[in-house]
Structure 1
């Protein structure tokens, strides 16, 4: 005659063994995704200021890729926005740093599902059309020189700390998507702040 207690303990052990395997499989799937999410950032590959007749221009380059979630969003007609922010501050020993210039530029990327074309618009400026997503992203990664400050905004000979940041701007997402985006690592795509010095000409 079988011992009911022994049979019950065997069932419990099997249950916990199965549960452990399921947990291990879950972690095996989640950890690589988390590692990839951590790597999905924007790298500022080039950044310097040029003095020109029309003012001070930013020459910059960025490196980033869209993960599958963001690519699916684009293909479904959800527009993505990428914002570059820059500021010039001048150190002052007797008071807080002087904030001389702050500027922002936003690129809107979206896909026309009927014409099968990608569009990139610099908000308040030009629009470009591309046949592939890679071409559209290249336009965002290698932006044209941007006049970030007019002549006279900086004092010639003074040294300024220039802080630059670029990333996907989730504030522009449709409201229903925003709730999910702010709690989902797949929707985080941004650079760290890059700071360098510039002596105004």
Structure 2
């Protein structure tokens, strides 16, 4: 009887030992999952922090740049506006300028005599530095930028025609500059001269807002 009791005790201890091992084995993945969850959370947090830094960096600063570029004729005057990153590089810039609404030379020639239909957006070569002949960049606060962009949108919507003398690309850009409180030169200057003179007349300083 004593022998049986000892044997029974051994069986019970073995069963408990096995059960303990099984519990330990089953809790293993659970513990691993906990570590993995912490690692995943940490990785996600790091990723979110990196994304936040990138987003903050890409938010950048606001600017408007008065530009002129070379062309087969006199050249062209226009503005580029948007944001810049910490390196001063433009982020998704927009372009506004006044030009005959055609790639043909015919409307351009006619526009020296009568007003012709116009376009007020990007034209070929506007964002290529090799064609740039003069420029003046002004940094803006978000409030100042929003005000200028609002004016540009309205000006674009109300500029249906182009005329070499009566209302040309210089005059269009001049209206934008005047809305910001700047002095503007004679719109009959060549584009490179116009932008250079615009910068010189206003001291090449940052945006100061409308006078008074």
TM-score (norm 1): 0.36
Look at both structures and tell me which one has the larger radius of gyration over its CA atoms: 2
Larger strand proportion, structure 1 or 2? 1
Higher-RCO chain (CA-CA 8 Å, sequence separation at least 6):
1
